[in-house]
Amino acid sequence: MAKDKCLLRIEDLLSKSSLNAVRKDEIINAIKEAKARRGLSRIDDIDVDSVAKEVSEQIKLQKLINKRNALEDEIKIRNAVDFIFEDFADDPAEGLNAYLVGSNKIAKGAKSSVAAHQHAVVGQLIGAWELKLKELGIEDIFIKGLDDIAEPELQLRVTKVIEQLSKKTEMEQRSGLQGVVDGETNPKIIKLAEAMEEFSELIRNKLNDRGANIAKIWGYIIRQSHDPYLVRDAAKVLGLNLDDIKVDPNLKNKKDINYNKNYTAWKNYVLPKLDKDRTFAETDNIEEFMVSVYNTLVGNKYLLSDGSQYAFGAKLTDSTAEKSKMKRVLHFKNGTEWFEYNNKFGVGNLKESFLSGLQTAGRNIGIMERLGTRPSQNFDKIRYAVQKKMEAEGRDTTSVAKGSKFDKFIKVVDGSIYTVEGFGLARYSAIARALASMASLGGATISAAADIGIYASEMRHQGKTFLSGIADAFIALSKIKNTARKNDIAKISGLMFDNTIYEVAGRHQVGDNLSKGWTNVQRFFFKVNLLSWWTNTLKQSALLGMSNYYALQKGLNFDQLNPALKSLFKTYDIDSVKWDIIRKQGMEKAEDGTEFLNIGQLDQISDADVKKITGIEDLSKRELRIEKEKFKASISAMLLDRTTTAVIEPDARVKGEMTQGFLAGTKIGEAIRFLGQFKAFPISVVQRVLGREIGVFKGGDKMKGSLGMLTMLASSLAFGYMSMTVKDLLKGRTPRELNYRTMLDSLLQGGGLGIYGDLIFRETRTAMEKAGTLLGPIPNTALELLQAISYGVTGEGKLAARSTYRAIKQNIPFLNLFYIKTGFDYLFGYTIQELLSPGSLKRVEQKLKKEYDQDFIFPKPSSYVNRF
């Protein structure tokens, strides 16, 4: 790209000036950006003094922002260190963990973590967007489109209007808001585009409030969404033959020629669509820039909230505020060019791109509010300050030394744990785990009966009775749906139902990055096995139940609350001042007169209330806005965290422990993910539910903690037996006799191992085979196939065939659906099993009778097969 002559003259003048190199680059880059933003081909076409003044003001502004950010970051660091030594003085390492991902210790703010705050901000943004769509009456067009307009055309038209609205002057925008947009006459399309652009501006301003300096860009929140699988297979996506693609011999990736060819195909497609002046304003080496962008996209690194030193090839410091500005490094010429690219290489349609943008923005806002504009650096400063203070006190600092103990949690909080190191290994491993999920989780909803006991134990933890919690769960599952206002209150609180963001698979494993096609298949599976319905119903019931319970306490001051609720509030840093504001400002009645804590009502709190919360009088308007939003998010974080404890999901701490910070695509990272598949649920039960009761016990209330653990034991036993009984009835068997073995199996099922029930407790398996199952479905299948080969080598053909059949059957997606499995067994499965292992069905029947006193409601498999 040839340089502008006038720009070269400016560079020459600067080279002869006394300015240092950093200052010169800063000025040149700012001038390039200003030139590109004004859409001019030459510097000579504008008033150079005007541009110089604009650039000078921008540089001054950025320097002021940098100073303010540095000061505010320092305050956050000091506050974090004070929190650790005030509330975790006996265990500062656990205090550091609590600040990042929460702790079960009964201490002030122990649950008010960075991760919980991020979750709340994301949920609130998405909830606010959904309510805005409802208010405008355009939910259907955003979710389903319009019947008379094909989806791709609709998305393109919305994109064009968003671009127009953003580029119009203020006066023209007023006309646009009344439905006057060039070339578009459909009022619903215009209204949706207006809403999306307005929300984009809202997000941009929120990020700027917190330390970013993002200039107005059309459709800012519609992130450049990239499917790493499609980007990696660019030639195939574009219909090109790899053999016909000629690559630059200077490309550094010498080991993988196909990688280079796909990069070349992607680059050649995207380059003509880019606004080159803006995209490459800060670099002269386009090839190096594009290679870096491609590597970032294939590695899924563009989703980072606190990424590495380089993002999209643009060199950055470790500042989330700066990265938020630079996420749109690929500037497209116009909305049409962006849409065409997104249609080829994006994660989905315009809806999914928008929601993905909200999620990324929410994570950025959440992490900046708690860890400042340089999150990773700031956390290390917190850790270092804690270490130095412990050294000064003569204490052992091994527990707070820099290392993987905290890195594994930082990687979850900043999103880097979801990036990819080795693309091919990560890709096929993720697909294998998705297949295993769809082959093994067909009965997950039946196994999820354990949720009811966990749900009730959470209600008990907050001061309600265990039995009332069980009743609430059953009432929720029996309802067809809640009233409209109750649904709105749940959304305002940040509860997400949409599977575009929330993946039910995450209850049982740390999520993988799947391609668009595999993601959609997995979503469909969890819909037809009813786990989506079960989970979302119980989650909404838990959140509304807690909101109602808190509303019923509004007549009590903080000291009058029951001890369990006061203790809970303490762990989320809610004191008497905050509770008084919540109970006076945050309550609302639904259509049926039931009162709830409605997070949306907290938007109305006064500036005086904000000053009471912070204890600071001289807050600027910006600071008042931020503190009000932080307070609202902190209450939402409590509701959401308790909801995902009542209806158990792996939180950031569990994810960190399960991955140990190892990335997808690395050998050890993939090994950990294979071994950990389906174990997220039981590990979450141990850490979040049992850990909660242990925390109460250690906190001094030994009676409550002990009773909590005994209640969990009893409920696991009861609901585990219920789960097994339902499964047996679906298989056509009578309930098991209540003996020692049945009780042990029930305890394991109800304690979180229910997903393994059909595998671990399968009647024909040996003890060695059952132990192998605990390795995970994929390693276990590999062992089965190796065993089959071993049988084949030794000439035991029938045993080899049986092992092969079992391995194949266990990995057929959808076959294990609880309403399909028994029918398949009677039609085909039992016959095949008897052919491969004559007499095995009779042996199973005898074993069931002997060990569990079980008979068959349906015809006995052996007699059914022998009829033919």
Contact 323, 307 (CB under 8 A): yes
Claim to verify: residue 376 and residue 431 sit in the same structural domain:
no
> Helix, strand or coil for residue 184?
strand
Claim to verify: residue 545 and residue 399 sit in the same structural domain:
no
Model pLDDT, residue 308: 28
Model pLDDT, residue 307: 28
Per residue in 468-491, pLDDT (tens digit) is 989 988 888 887 777 888 888 888
Model pLDDT, residue 581: 95
Instruction: Kindly state the tokens that stand for 499.
Output: 């599977």
Hey, which residues does 595 pair with through a beta bridge? 589
Whether 313 has a pLDDT exceeding 90, the answer reads no
Whether 518 has a pLDDT exceeding 90, the answer reads no
Whether 121 has a pLDDT exceeding 90, the answer reads yes
Residue 183 pLDDT level (bands cut at 50, 70, 90): confident
> Helix, strand or coil for residue 315?
strand
Claim to verify: residue 474 and residue 490 sit in the same structural domain:
yes
Residue 511's alpha-carbon distances to 365, 488, 658, 751, in angstroms, are 22, 28, 11, 22
Claim to verify: residue 428 and residue 335 sit in the same structural domain:
no
CA distance 133 to 124: 14
Contact 340, 273 (CB under 8 A): yes
Claim to verify: residue 595 and residue 650 sit in the same structural domain:
yes
Whether 613 has a pLDDT exceeding 90, the answer reads yes
Is 508 contained in some domain?
Answer: yes
Is 727 contained in some domain?
Answer: no
Model pLDDT, residue 330: 81
Model pLDDT, residue 256: 74
Model pLDDT, residue 780: 79
Q: Residue 810 — left, alpha, or beta (φ > 0 → left; ψ -120 to 50 → alpha)? A: alpha
Is 749 contained in some domain?
Answer: no
Residue 747 pLDDT level (bands cut at 50, 70, 90): confident
> Helix, strand or coil for residue 589?
strand
Claim to verify: residue 603 and residue 514 sit in the same structural domain:
yes
Q: What percentage of the chain has pLDDT greater than the value 70?
A: 83
Per residue in 781-815, pLDDT (tens digit) is 888 888 888 888 888 877 788 888 888 888 888 88
Whether 318 has a pLDDT exceeding 80, the answer reads no
Mean pLDDT along residues 1-23: 54
Complete DSSP assignment for 618-682: ---HHHHHHHHHHHHHHHHHHHHHHHHHHTT---HHHHHHHHTTPPBTSHHHHHHHHHHTT-HHH
Claim to verify: residue 373 and residue 521 sit in the same structural domain:
no
Whether 157 has a pLDDT exceeding 70, the answer reads yes
Model pLDDT, residue 65: 81
Residue 640 pLDDT level (bands cut at 50, 70, 90): very high
Mean pLDDT along residues 410-435: 87
Q: What is the pTM of this model?
A: 0.86
Name the more confident of 313 and 573: 573
Name the more confident of 727 and 382: 382
Burial 413-429 (b: 16+ CB within 10 A, else e): bbbbbbbbebbebbbeb
Residue 150 pLDDT level (bands cut at 50, 70, 90): confident
Is 783 contained in some domain?
Answer: no
Contact 694, 449 (CB under 8 A): no
CA distance 109 to 571: 5
Mean pLDDT along residues 572-576: 95
Model pLDDT, residue 254: 56
Complete DSSP assignment for 412-473: HHSSGGGSBSSHHHHHHHHHHHHHHHHHH-TTHHHHTTHHHHHHHHHHHHTTS-HHHHHHHH
Claim to verify: residue 339 and residue 375 sit in the same structural domain:
no
Is 369 contained in some domain?
Answer: yes
User: Pick from 87, 121, 147: which residue ends a domain?
Assistant: 87
CA distance 31 to 11: 11
Is 779 contained in some domain?
Answer: no
Name the more confident of 640 and 701: 640
Helix axes 667-676, 777-793, angle to 10 degrees: 90
Per residue in 705-727, pLDDT (tens digit) is 899 888 888 888 888 889 889 98
Claim to verify: residue 259 and residue 238 sit in the same structural domain:
yes
Claim to verify: residue 326 and residue 351 sit in the same structural domain:
no
Q: Which residues contact residue 696 at a Cβ distance below 8 angstroms, ignoring those fewer than 6 apart?
A: 106, 461, 567, 704, 705, 708
Mean pLDDT along residues 839-855: 85
Model pLDDT, residue 29: 64
Name the more confident of 771 and 845: 845
Residue 753 pLDDT level (bands cut at 50, 70, 90): low
Model pLDDT, residue 759: 45
Model pLDDT, residue 371: 93
Contact 544, 588 (CB under 8 A): no
Is 856 contained in some domain?
Answer: no
The mean predicted confidence, pLDDT, of the chain is: 82
Helix axes 375-392, 92-101, angle to 10 degrees: 160
Whether 3 has a pLDDT exceeding 60, the answer reads no
Claim to verify: residue 82 and residue 121 sit in the same structural domain:
no
Print the SS3 string covering 689-728.
HHHHHHHHHHCCCHHHHHHHHHHHHHHHHHHHHHHHHHHH
Whether 35 has a pLDDT exceeding 70, the answer reads no
Residue 760 pLDDT level (bands cut at 50, 70, 90): very low
The H-or-E segment that residue 399 falls in is: none
CA distance 599 to 588: 10
Provide the residue range defining the domain that includes 52. 5-87
Is 301 contained in some domain?
Answer: yes
Q: What percentage of the chain has pLDDT greater than the value 90?
A: 30
> Helix, strand or coil for residue 813?
coil
Claim to verify: residue 575 and residue 472 sit in the same structural domain:
yes
Residue 324 pLDDT level (bands cut at 50, 70, 90): very low
Helix, strand, coil % (nearest 5) of the chain? 70, 0, 30
> Helix, strand or coil for residue 594?
coil
CA distance 773 to 786: 14
User: Pick from 680, 698, 716: which residue ends a domain?
Assistant: 698
> Helix, strand or coil for residue 588?
strand
User: Pick from 404, 431, 448: which residue ends a domain?
Assistant: 404
Mean pLDDT along residues 462-469: 89
Count how many domains the chain has: 4
Model pLDDT, residue 149: 84
